[in-house]
DNA sequence: AATATTGCTTGCAATTTACAAGTAAGGCAG
DNA sequence: CTGCCTTACTTGTAAATTGCAAGCAATATT
């Protein structure tokens, strides 16, 4: 954990890559946004199976960059809860564009068709709903009050 | 150059990361879009200074993924020209969101203020202009007919 | 009081990267 | 047409990073 590594350039693309551009960080942010994961153990259990030491170093890096904050969990003091800061929430549009691209080009994509439809219908609206949802402790796909469930209801009510 | 590497998951974020999520690929796409670079030597000369063997392996990977195509240069047959496919051009929105985020959070960002202003004014319009420009062999920042120059003219004429 | 869970750290082998030095094919100047 | 330069790579090797397995301290559970 040293990283006395001078930045390669001041290019904004390079800045983004140096901040969250390793092969794992965005998966953690995905877990936070789409799946409502918050603890070390939950991240570790993701289907991509990242190694525990890598997970620890990435979480530390993201925390140091001000993208996530770590807080001891109130209910169970063994646990730490990680949540996105404003700076982290502002990465949602990046995730969304990557997901859009993959949904278009990966024939085996796991992105739910209903969700893709919603995103195509009103990108701006959905991004602000995503942000609001995650900020309030919810997630896009997981849980009773997931954004996907709530927007599905909105659609069926309004139709 | 083996890569008999099974994919980690069908998650669209993971698909994107496995396709262009290494620390260098997006810098090459940036070079193609913003700086109009097309040859091996031009990529190699980028200020981030990537190693020649890494450059070769990334270009091969991007070509294999159908994001760039390689063609012998007509004027000088020693040269190869790399250009973006449709699939590659569709990554422009990803670049744009990353650049927006960095412009907001990196106090030393090299992103031109005029460009940031244009992007904030009309994201959709600018993305389609970027795409069109690159498809016609131009670039966003470099050259007489760079998109930045042309849009500046549009602004000054219309004001 | 004993056992399980949680969030890590440590050690080491395997992979990947960075740096330096080639090499082959196409231009180009005399 | 001959020697030299440029261009796009490849190859070898040392250094850094990653992946895997095991261990550990603090809290929770029984």
Residues B119-154 pLDDT 10s = 999 999 999 999 999 999 999 999 989 999 999 887
Residue A138 pLDDT: 97
For B26-74, the pLDDT digits (tens) are 999 999 999 999 999 999 999 999 999 999 999 999 999 999 999 999 9
3-state DSSP percent of chain A in helix, strand and coil, to 5? 55, 5, 40
Q: Give the whole-number percent of chain A exceeding pLDDT 70.
A: 95
The Cβ-side half-sphere exposure at A79, using a 13 Å CA radius, reads: 13
Which position has the higher pLDDT, B155 or A72? A72
Structure tokens at A102: 């993959």
Q: Which residues are bridge partners to A83 per DSSP?
A: A69
Find the mean pLDDT for residues B114-118.
94
- What does DSSP assign to residue B151? H
| Residue from B3, B5, B11 whose CB has the most chain A CBs within 10 Å, to mutate | B11
Residue A133 above 90 pLDDT?
yes
* Percent of chain A topping pLDDT 90: 89
- The residue whose two tokens read 């020649």 is B52
Among protein residues, the one whose C-alpha sits closest to the C1' atom of C6 is A78
Task: Give the integer Cα–Cα distance in Å for A36 and A29.
Answer: 10
Nearest chain B residue to A90 by CA distance is B101
Q: Among A158, A63, A61, A93, which residue's Cα sits nearest to residue B99? A: A93
Round to whole Å and give the CA distance between A140 and A19: 24
Inform me whether the pLDDT recorded for B2 exceeds 90: no
**So what's the pLDDT on residue B100?**
97
First to last CA, chain B: 54
The vertex-B11 CA angle with A24 and B13, nearest 5°, equals: 50
Q: What is the mean pLDDT of chain B?
A: 94
Cα A34 from Cα B121, distance rounded (Å): 29
pLDDT digits (tens, 9 = 90+) for B5-20: 778 999 999 999 999 9
Q: How far is the CA of A95 from the C1' of C18 (A)?
A: 30
Do B34 and A14 meet the contact criterion of CB atoms below 8 Å apart? no
A10, A16, A49: residue with CB nearest B98: A16
CA–C1' distance B54–D12 (Å)? Answer: 15
* CA torsion, ordered B22, B28, B31, B37, to nearest 10 deg: 170
pLDDT of residue A99: 98
pTM recorded for the entire structure:
0.94
Question: What CA–CA distance (Å, rounded) separates B132 from A93?
Answer: 22
Average pLDDT over residues A8-24: 96
Nearest CA in chain A to B95: A13
Q: Is the model's pLDDT at B158 over the cut of 60?
A: no
For chain B, give percent helix, strand, coil, nearest 5: 55, 5, 40
Give residues with Cβ within 8 angstroms of A5, minimum separation 6. Answer: none
Looking at the complex, report in whole angstroms how far the Cα of residue A54 sits from the nearest Cα belonging to chain B.
Answer: 16
Q: Read off the pLDDT of residues A62-102 as tens digits, 9 standing for 90 and up.
A: 999 999 999 999 999 999 999 999 999 999 999 999 999 99
A76 CA → C4 C1’, Å: 14
H or E element at residue A59: helix A52-64
A117-131 b/e with 16+ CB inside 10 Å = b? Answer: ebbeeebeebeebbb
Mean pLDDT of the region A139-146? 94
> Other C-beta atoms within 10 Å of B35: how many?
18
CB–CB contact A99 B16 (8 Å): yes
> Per-residue confidence at B4, pLDDT binned at 50, 70, 90?
low
């Amino acid at each position: 954990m040293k990283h006395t590594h001078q930045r390669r350039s001041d290019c904004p693309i390079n800045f983004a890559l140096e901040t969250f551009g390793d092969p794992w960080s965005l998966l953690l942010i995905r877990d936070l946004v789409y799946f409502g994961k918050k603890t070390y153990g939950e991240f570790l259990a993701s289907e991509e199976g990242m190694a525990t030491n890598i997970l620890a170093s990435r979480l530390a890096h993201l925390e140091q960059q001000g993208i996530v904050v770590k807080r001891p969990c109130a209910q169970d003091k063994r646990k730490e809860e990680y949540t996105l800061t404003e700076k982290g929430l502002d990465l949602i549009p990046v995730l969304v564009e990557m997901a859009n691209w993959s949904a278009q080009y990966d024939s085996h994509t796991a992105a739910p068709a209903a969700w893709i439809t919603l995103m195509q219908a009103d990108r701006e609206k959905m991004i602000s709903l995503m942000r609001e949802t995650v900020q309030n402790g919810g997630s896009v796909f997981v849980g009773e009050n997931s954004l996907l469930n709530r927007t599905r209801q909105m659609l069926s009510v309004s139709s």
